[in-house]
Structure 1
Amino acid sequence: MVAAEQKGNPKTASKETSKATAAAEHKILGPSDLTWGDAPPGLPAGAKMAVLAGDPGKKGPFTVRLQAPDGYKVAPHMHPTAENITVISGTFHLGTGDKFDESAGHEMTAGSFAVMPAGMKHFAWTTGETVMQIHGFGPFQIVYVNPVDDPRNVPKK
């Protein structure tokens, strides 16, 4: 843009810069600014989610926080896009494969990071209340290895 301002009409270049800046969302969020709601129905009940940036249901980058209670478990599943996880607090356990096996999990404490490539089967559970930050490229989808494990397939009472 600097080159455009030097060579072209400064007023036009300035307007283009302003439009580009307005299109890119600049946010600063403190913990009290987060709006928590129930996690999407593809996850087991009990977790809360806050969207920090983007929209995980639409094409494009997104960042969310997930708060899960002690003992929260997610059965083996995969995602069609990569999933990046940073543990903010608590202890998150992550294992790979198509069977839930706690002995095969990796303990992740606050500050730990993991990336799950698209299509990699994995499972997870928490020890203590745990907050994770997840970012990736939407739309974010969860495909369970065993459809019986999918909370969306449980009949509503």
Structure 2
Amino acid sequence: MTHFTRLIERRGATVALALIISLGAGSNSLMAGDSAHSVKTADEVEFGAGPPLLPPGAELAVLAGNPGEPGVFVIRLRFPEGYVIPPHTHSMDELVTVISGQIGIAMGETLDQKGPLLPAGSFAALPANMAHFAWANEITVVQIAGMGPFDITYLEKADDPRTN
């Protein structure tokens, strides 16, 4: 048994996804069809309006791929102070790295904001279809990687900003 196989058995599909992202996936590679690499310094990351599937106030920067289509994507989200994402699920694994600020991410179907805040440099791997919620007490930037399309299903229809 190879080290890679043991790692996947111990850590599950999330590690496999991270390795595929970092190593490329052949014709499904993140860079498939691109003739040049892509590099952006932190100052060159341009944020725009957040997607309609998030509560108002978030800002979005797409770093790689297209989160609205099948395939690998990497995005950054910037949240204002006091931002909350109510309990929800995703149909895909979500790999979250805190770039700046701090964010609370907790599992469950009831928003309580009682969990620990993850500081810059922290990482969270959230499996598909697991109910969770998030909050930021200060301006916070997170980076999310996954296999698109990126989606959100809110547990309570009233929490979905697309229906309000």
Same topology, TM > 0.5: yes
1:115 aligns with 2:86: no
Q: Where do 5+ consecutive residues of structure 2 fail to align?
A: 1-28
Larger radius of gyration: 1
The answer to whether 1:87 aligns with 2:98 is yes
Aligned partner (choices 140, 144, 147) of residue 154 of structure 2: 144
Structure 1 residue 48 corresponds to structure 2 residue 52:
no
**Structure 1 segment 63-102 matched on structure 2, within 5 A:** 63-102=74-113
- CA-CA distance at 1:41 after TM superposition: 0.4
Tell me, in whole angstroms, the C-alpha distance in 2 between the residues paired with 1:130 and 1:81.
Answer: 23
CA distance in 2, matches of 1:145, 1:71: 21
Instruction: State TM-score, norm by structure 2.
Output: 0.78
Whether 2:117 is the aligned partner of 1:124: answer: no
Structure 1: stretches of 5+ with no match in the other structure: 1-19
Q: How many residues align?
A: 134
Alignment RMSD? 1.6
The amino acid that maps onto 2:94 is E
- Aligned partner letter, 2:145: H
TM-score (norm 1): 0.81
Higher strand share: 1
Offset of 1:107 from its aligned partner? 1.5
